[in-house]
Amino acid sequence: MQPFSFQNPTRLHFGAGQLERLRDEVPHGAHVLLVYGGGSIKRSGLYDQVHAHLQALGAVVTELAGVEPNPRLSTVRRGVTLAQGSVTHILAVGGGSVIDAAKAIAVSARSAHDAWDLILNPSLITGALPLGVVLTHAATGSEMNPISVITNEGTLDKRGWASAHAYPTFSILDPAFTLTAPRDQTAYGLIDMMSHVLEDYLDTTTNTPVQDAWAEGLLRVLIDTGPKLVADLGNLELRETAMLAGTWAFNGALAMGKDGDWASHRIEHALSALHDVPHAAGLSVVMPAWMEYAAQERPEKLARLAERVLGVHRMERSDALVAREGITRLRSFWRSLGAPTRLHELNIPDTDIPKLAELSVLRGEPFGNLRPLGRADVEAILRLAH
Amino acid sequence: MQPFSFQNPTRLHFGAGQLERLRDEVPHGAHVLLVYGGGSIKRSGLYDQVHAHLQALGAVVTELAGVEPNPRLSTVRRGVTLAQGSVTHILAVGGGSVIDAAKAIAVSARSAHDAWDLILNPSLITGALPLGVVLTHAATGSEMNPISVITNEGTLDKRGWASAHAYPTFSILDPAFTLTAPRDQTAYGLIDMMSHVLEDYLDTTTNTPVQDAWAEGLLRVLIDTGPKLVADLGNLELRETAMLAGTWAFNGALAMGKDGDWASHRIEHALSALHDVPHAAGLSVVMPAWMEYAAQERPEKLARLAERVLGVHRMERSDALVAREGITRLRSFWRSLGAPTRLHELNIPDTDIPKLAELSVLRGEPFGNLRPLGRADVEAILRLAH
């Protein structure tokens, strides 16, 4: 383990009826910037419920609607303009994209710097408007972490950033609000969670039995829950399990004392910046190929994953062979949820590979811990993924 | 799962060299009440290290030494008198007893009420002096939770209490500071951790796969680590594992959405109030008997524990039989660490059982969730434990 500091200040309110907690969390007479995406919260009735609560609190409400998947810098800037007046609180109602945009708005509204300058250099961030979340999609963990991903559509730079000021103050997680998520989106959420766990798990750090046991437990729960949930989207208990798993897959607990290896995310960000594919669809393509190429640096850890999580029996084989079967099983599992696992299934031609590799190293190379990756390595990974 | 709210504000600083963080956590010129126990921190040199840091910060230091295991109300009151002057910060250097006493001092120093009134009625607590911890013993989890246990030696009432104001502001966990803990104390720490996990695990709540997977993972890690550590007390990696496990066994994460069942702790508190036995020695006697008597209400959960954690093979037996073998194995495991598992090994005669049962229901009956317990039930459990 490596020395670390850990603190997560977000208040979680989880379960049926927790939307009521808005009454404790939002002060009377607040001016709330309500941030949301498309019309799904209007169709589900959640939009009306939130408005009723805010009205009862005597809140003034300004709206930023239409936050897109892979949220864009221009949307963030639009929100900052709305927030810089008399807005006192931001309430994000949606999934990871809505929350990520709201985080960027929250920190920018309290800064003289432009949003993109803060994203490029989070040490400039000195404060934020208080941010609350009502989560409608179990996936990114953004509801209980300080991380956000914003795409600069001008430069095709999709960039993750983090700041201690970007933790939501509170997050309301009622699994009933996720019941309307369609099959694909639900499956992608599960894959996103699994990738977060795996990117902390497959790293260079040794002596991490507590973190490893939890990561393996969470992965086993997701592998058990996933197929049942995509076959039974209205099952509230399975939704509940997925929602709790998604939050704890990426709230810092599994990363304690570990360096992690987020190279797959970096490569995926290039894919979804250039082609606007769903984040998890990109991950399910990139990550197994990254495991074949880079995570083989720790074959014993990959073999442990294969045996403890993916049901591989060792049968006196080497770590490398057990690991290889594990990767094959992971691809099969993600395919069984309906996700692509090959680049061509995303309709990305192999002629795009050099451009994708170039985008991946936009912020310099090498990157990644298990095996530091340069542009040529990314090309090799994407060819393995094709 | 049940609806729940979760927040844990304590900043953990974990690993080698983290004592340095005192420089960020304690402001220059603070007046610090240093709370500690016996002389072990003087023998280990930690006392001198802490003083050197505080001196470099220009801190004024007042000392409360001699906090006993099972800390007493009179000690807390002595600390409150010291703290109510110009003290601005409390620094607890020690294990659970020292931290628990410091929590009671911290909240009482900011109140017009007597310490025992606050413990009996924590809703009276309105604030606390900021409390920092330097942990020297891996066991209770008090370093990252809002819980404290204080014994009123006048009435033999050993009482747990909790308040959102009782979270340490920060806790410094350097596994090297636990290297000097002797064998018995080390083993008792591991048993204390396991009991915390089990008391959240064996409850009435259903659909808790995430919490269950983590609980089982933590228990497996402790069962793997325990025998190695008591045979190799100077092993820093094993100390590191135990220290992280102890904190997360009881910081609220495993209790999310569950009702838990803390009846064993209540009964044990009667034992250690009357006989001043080590807390974990009492637990290793009481808990298996409680499992035989009360946790059998959920034989399928006990059987799951037996199979997933304690290595029991089902061999077509009923849940009840698998559960029984699991309890036997748990007793054997704790005995292998050197702990007593029978009342008579604590030199407690069976003639004391009625008195112990009476003390257990001092705050009313029934208590416990899996099977609500009255005085006669406690007597039956203690006879099973004899």
The class level of CATH for B11-178 reads: alpha beta
B14 vs A3: CB contact, 8 Å cut-off?
A: yes
Angle at which helices A183-201 and A236-248 pack, to 10 degrees?
30
pLDDT digits (tens, 9 = 90+) for A201-230: 999 999 999 999 999 999 999 999 999 999
**pLDDT interval class at A311 (50, 70, 90):** very high
User: What is the model's pLDDT at position B302?
Assistant: 97
Of B1, B209, B244, the CB nearest to A221: B209
Predicted-complex ipTM score: 0.95
A240 vs B214: CB contact, 8 Å cut-off?
A: no
**Chain B residue whose CA is closest to A3:** B15
Which residues from A are below 8 Å from B10, CB to CB?
Answer: 7
Of B2, B9, B245, the CB nearest to A15: B2
B375/B379 Cα distance (integer angstroms)? 6
**Consecutive H or E run containing A14:** strand A4-14
Which contacts of B311-315 are long-range, i.e. CB under 8 A and separated by 24 or more positions?
A: none
Residue type, B364: G
Which residues from A are below 8 Å from B248, CB to CB?
Answer: 210, 253
Structure tokens at A19: 């939307």
A177/A141 Cα distance (integer angstroms)? 16
- Computed over its alpha carbons, how large is the radius of gyration of chain A? 20
**Chain A residue whose CA is closest to B236:** A207
CA B116 to chain centre: 20
Q: What is the pLDDT along chain B (386 residues), one digit of tens a residue?
A: 999 999 999 999 999 999 999 999 999 999 999 999 988 999 999 999 999 999 999 999 999 999 998 899 999 999 999 999 899 999 999 999 999 999 999 999 999 999 999 999 999 999 999 999 999 999 999 999 999 999 999 998 889 999 999 999 999 999 999 999 999 999 999 999 999 999 999 999 999 999 999 999 999 999 999 999 999 999 999 999 999 999 999 999 999 999 999 999 999 989 988 888 999 999 999 999 999 999 889 999 999 999 999 999 999 999 999 999 999 999 999 999 999 999 999 999 999 999 999 999 988 899 999 999 999 999 999 999 99
Write the Ramachandran bin of A19: left for phi over 0, alpha for psi from -120 to 50, otherwise beta.
Answer: alpha
Alpha helix positions (H), B295-318:
299-308
| DSSP-derived pairing of the beta strands B170-173 and B4-14 | parallel
The two counts, helices (H) then strands (E), for chain A are 15, 8
**pLDDT interval class at A296 (50, 70, 90):** confident
B358-375 core/surface letters (b: 16 or more CB in 10 A; e: else): ebbbbeebebbbbbebbe
Residues of A with CB under 8 A from a CB of B: 1-18, 21, 207, 209-210, 213-214, 216-218, 220-221, 224-225, 237, 240-241, 244-245, 248, 253, 256-257
User: What is the model's pLDDT at position B3?
Assistant: 98
**pLDDT interval class at A327 (50, 70, 90):** very high
* Chain B interface test: which of A7, A143, A169 (most B C-beta within 10 Å): A7
Asked if B190 contacts B281 with a C-beta cutoff of 8 angstroms, the reply is no
Between the alpha carbon of residue A327 and those of residues A188, A284, A386, the distances in Å are 18, 11, 15
The answer to whether the bond into A366 is cis (omega within 30° of 0) is yes
**Chain A residue whose CA is closest to B215:** A214
Lowest model confidence (mean pLDDT) among A269-273, A333-337, B2-6, B331-335 = A269-273
Q: Which of A119, A142, A133, A127 is nearest to A196 (CA)?
A: A142
Residue with tokens 């609000």: A177
A209 vs B224: CB contact, 8 Å cut-off?
A: yes
A5 vs B13: CB contact, 8 Å cut-off?
A: yes
A216 vs B221: CB contact, 8 Å cut-off?
A: no
User: What is the model's pLDDT at position B38?
Assistant: 87
CA B19 to chain centre: 23
**Quick check: do A11-178 and A183-385 share a fold?**
no
**Consecutive H or E run containing A148:** strand A147-152
**What SS3 class is residue A134?**
strand
B256 vs A240: CB contact, 8 Å cut-off?
A: no
**What SS3 class is residue B345?**
helix
Q: Establish, for the pair of chains A and B, how many residue pairs have beta carbons separated by less than 8 Å.
A: 119
Of B17, B217, B224, the CB nearest to A3: B17
A217 vs B220: CB contact, 8 Å cut-off?
A: no
* Chain B interface test: which of A5, A20, A210 (most B C-beta within 10 Å): A210
User: What is the model's pLDDT at position B383?
Assistant: 97
Which residues from A are below 8 Å from B18, CB to CB?
Answer: 3, 5
Which residues from B are below 8 Å from A216, CB to CB?
Answer: 217
| DSSP-derived pairing of the beta strands B170-173 and B131-135 | parallel
**What SS3 class is residue B173?**
strand
| Angle, CA of B304, B306 and B307, to the nearest 5° | 65
A14 vs B253: CB contact, 8 Å cut-off?
A: no
User: What is the model's pLDDT at position B276?
Assistant: 81
CA B204 to chain centre: 22
**What SS3 class is residue A341?**
coil
B230-249 core/surface letters (b: 16 or more CB in 10 A; e: else): beebebebbbbbbbbbbbbb
Q: Which of B224, B221, B236, B222 is nearest to B174 (CA)?
A: B236
What residue segments make up the domains of chain B, in order of their start? 11-178, 183-385
Which residues from B are below 8 Å from A253, CB to CB?
Answer: 248, 253
Asked if B252 contacts B8 with a C-beta cutoff of 8 angstroms, the reply is yes
Asked if B42 contacts B294 with a C-beta cutoff of 8 angstroms, the reply is no
Of B2, B213, B237, the CB nearest to A218: B213
Of B4, B17, B218, the CB nearest to A14: B4
Residues of B with CB under 8 A from a CB of A: 1-18, 21, 207, 209-210, 213-214, 216-218, 220-221, 224-225, 237, 240-241, 244-245, 248, 253, 256-257
**Region A304-318 average pLDDT:** 97
Of B10, B209, B253, the CB nearest to A241: B209
Q: Which of A107, A82, A290, A331 is nearest to A199 (CA)?
A: A290
Residue type, B370: L
Q: Which of B362, B366, B375 is nearest to B159 (CA)?
A: B362
B14 vs A8: CB contact, 8 Å cut-off?
A: no
Between the alpha carbon of residue A176 and those of residues A16, A68, A186, A225, the distances in Å are 7, 23, 13, 17
pLDDT > 90? residue A144:
yes
A109-127 core/surface letters (b: 16 or more CB in 10 A; e: else): bbbeeebbebbeebeebee
B307/A28 Cα distance (integer angstroms)? 52
* Residue B376: CB atoms within 10 Å: 11
A195/B38 Cα distance (integer angstroms)? 48
Which CATH architecture group holds B183-385? Up-down Bundle (1.20)
User: What is the model's pLDDT at position B362?
Assistant: 87
* Residue A237: CB atoms within 10 Å: 16
Which residues from B are below 8 Å from A221, CB to CB?
Answer: 209-210, 213
User: What is the model's pLDDT at position A366?
Assistant: 96
**Chain B residue whose CA is closest to A172:** B5
Of A4, A207, A248, the CB nearest to B210: A248
